Amino acid sequence: MSRFTSTRPSNSERFSRRRFLIGTASLALVPALAARAQGATRITTSDLGGLKLLQGAGSNVLALHGDEGALMVDGGLAANADTLLRAVYAATGNDRIRLLINTHGHAEQTGANAAVGAAGGTILAHEKTRQYLSHRVYTMTAERRLVPVEPLPEKAQPTQVVRDEGSLDFAKRKIDYGYMPAAHTDGDLFVHFPELNVLAAGGVVSAERWPLLEYRGGAWLGGRVRAVEWLADLVKPDTRVVPAQGKLLTGRDIVRQRDIYRELFQTMIGYLNKGFGAEDAVSANPLKRYEAEFGDPSAFLDGAYRSMLIAYVPD
């Protein structure tokens, strides 16, 4: 049964939202295009108790040894795919990827898809991520120009789709996953390794910056709050949480971010009631006290408030 309709209060009990889908991508892809042009970077490998963390390919990547091939969570940028796969093979002792999980469809997560797919590996993602990767979409530049992003080749598209939450067995370990609707994109998954106390959260959280909301493609602030609430329920205080980019978080960090987003959501409702526009919300800057930790929140606040204007319906 659905995680969001059976085991926690329904969406209508938490937040009201309009369903919307405009096939565009977010500002989060813009740094990826620049990084791709610069070529491969040095990849470092860390051990998380048997699960390997690889950094430097464009996104954080997790890899796990398997008898019939390795498991990967996310795949970095396409320009770094060969270097990354060699690093994964060295770290896991495998010579092929049996299963690659895309936490979402951004270029930083899907760069190894073509190589894995061509070699016969399974690529798992949410159904909406597959739709995103198999159609022409648009991304908005920093100058607010829409530019097209072409679909991935068929061999690079997910071959196994999921729609809700579930689990799989890999190398005699149970691995849980769950769909976080409208949180960062409209196709976000988390991947949880409970025996190893590691949670891959994709682009929903970050230790270093405000993860943008792809509000033109289905995400909104209420979805972000709901997702971080779920993650906070999953973690222990010392859980190692792997974001899409940057340094690791702990379970304590996730609980704190849950509280930040909850407070922001209520503040944004107040702004709506006052008739604010997005520029007013940015100017008010309710996240000012976190600037030293996460940087300038202007772009995040702009997207978050615009998502409220589109998706929030008062009860």
pLDDT tens for each residue of 150-173: 999 999 999 999 999 999 999 999
Q: What is the mean pLDDT of the chain?
A: 88
Q: Please give the model's pTM, rounded to 2 decimal places.
A: 0.87
Q: Burial, 188: exposed, middle or buried (Cβ in 10 Å; 0-12, 13-18, 19+)?
A: buried
Gap between the Cα atoms of 42 and 21, Å rounded: 37
Q: Where are the domains positioned within the chain?
A: 11-311
Q: Has residue 86 got a pLDDT over 50?
A: yes
Q: Span 242-267, mean pLDDT? A: 98
Q: Which residues fall within 8 angstroms of residue 175, CB to CB, at 6 or more apart?
A: 71, 167, 168, 169, 191, 192, 193
User: What does the pLDDT read at residue 310?
Assistant: 95
Residue 145 has pLDDT above 70, yes or no: no
Task: Provide the CATH topology of domain 11-311.
Answer: Metallo-beta-lactamase; Chain A (3.60.15)
Q: Give the residue with greater pLDDT, 234 vs 213.
A: 234
Residue 204 has pLDDT above 90, yes or no: yes
Query: Which comes out higher in pLDDT, residue 24 or 191?
Result: 191
